[in-house]
């Protein structure tokens, strides 16, 4: 009889223990969902990369370096005097996008060497960059605020 009471007491104590500390005794492992964003590539080897590099230079107040990433529509590079002339227009774009986060981006290839990159800033403002390939690297030929 004493053993039955002993087993009953042990059973009730175990159930009581499991009810109040069940979270600590049993660990249920599930799948961890992690949303990974592709980091922006700051290089001239891809259309999105050259636009990201351009926007990064503008956010760092480096307008002259941003003009180095631009080329003419006829696939020739700007001279130093022409870069100086377009720096005022690029400064206006800098004021338009400065301090804003890129919330969406898309690349639309028109040709092998020509594409449009659309960037959305703070879910509100969009800018389309016309990107051309000269040699092995990409340059920004034109941009337009939508």
pLDDT in tens, 68-116: 999 999 999 999 999 999 999 999 999 988 888 889 999 999 998 999 9
- pTM (predicted TM-score): 0.72
3-state secondary structure (DSSP) of residue 101: coil
Kindly report, residue by residue over 35-54, the tens digit of the pLDDT: 556 666 788 999 999 999 99
What phi, psi does 120 have (nearest 5°)?
-110, 130
Partners of residue 117 on adjacent β-strands: 107, 129
């Amino acid at each position: 009889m004493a053993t039955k009471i002993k087993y009953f007491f042990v059973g009730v104590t175990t159930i009581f223990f499991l009810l109040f500390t069940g979270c600590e005794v049993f660990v249920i492992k599930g799948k961890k969902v992690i949303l990974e964003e592709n980091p922006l590539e700051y290089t001239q080897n891809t259309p999105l990369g050259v636009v990201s590099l351009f926007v990064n230079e503008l956010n760092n107040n480096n307008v002259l370096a941003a003009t180095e990433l631009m080329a003419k529509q006829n696939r020739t590079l700007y001279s130093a005097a022409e870069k100086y002339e377009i720096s005022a227009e690029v400064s206006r774009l800098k004021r338009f996008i400065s301090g804003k986060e890129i919330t969406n981006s898309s690349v639309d290839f028109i040709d092998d060497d020509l594409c449009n990159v659309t960037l959305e800033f703070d879910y509100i403002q969009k800018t389309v960059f016309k990107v051309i390939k000269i040699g092995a690297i990409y340059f920004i030929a034109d941009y337009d605020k939508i």
